[in-house]
């Protein structure tokens, strides 16, 4: 493998990683600070959400589709 080809593949891989993490990062950035500061009992959960806070947090992938 040539150095040029290696660098090209590394750049493509890095770009794919950034593109894949973009929705998660944007969802976190777009969440109002007030919403994050709310106590757990005041948070709005999607229908069918797990009742247990720890289980919900473990299952949530932060896709942002619920809000």
DSSP 8-state class, residue 63 = -
Report the C-alpha gap between 18 and 59 in whole angstroms.
Answer: 22
CB under 8 Å to 64, separation ≥6 — which residues?
A: 23, 24, 26, 27, 30
Site string for ligand SF4, 28-47 (x = CB under 6 A): ------------------x-
Total Cβ atoms within 10 A of residue 64: 14
Interface stretch with ligand SF4, choices 3-11, 17-25, 35-43, 58-66 (CB under 6 A): 58-66
State yes or no: residue 23 binds ligand SF4 (CB under 6 A): no
Q: Which is nearer to ligand SF4, 30 or 65 (CB)?
A: 65
Interface residues toward ligand SF4, by CB under 6 A: 46, 60-66
């Amino acid at each position: 493998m040539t150095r040029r080809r290696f660098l090209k593949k590394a750049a493509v891989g890095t770009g794919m990683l950034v593109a894949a993490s973009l929705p998660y990062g944007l969802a976190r950035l777009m969440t109002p600070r007030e919403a994050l500061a709310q106590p757990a009992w005041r948070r709005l959960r999607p229908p069918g959400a797990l009742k247990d806070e720890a289980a919900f947090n473990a299952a949530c992938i932060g896709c942002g589709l619920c809000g």
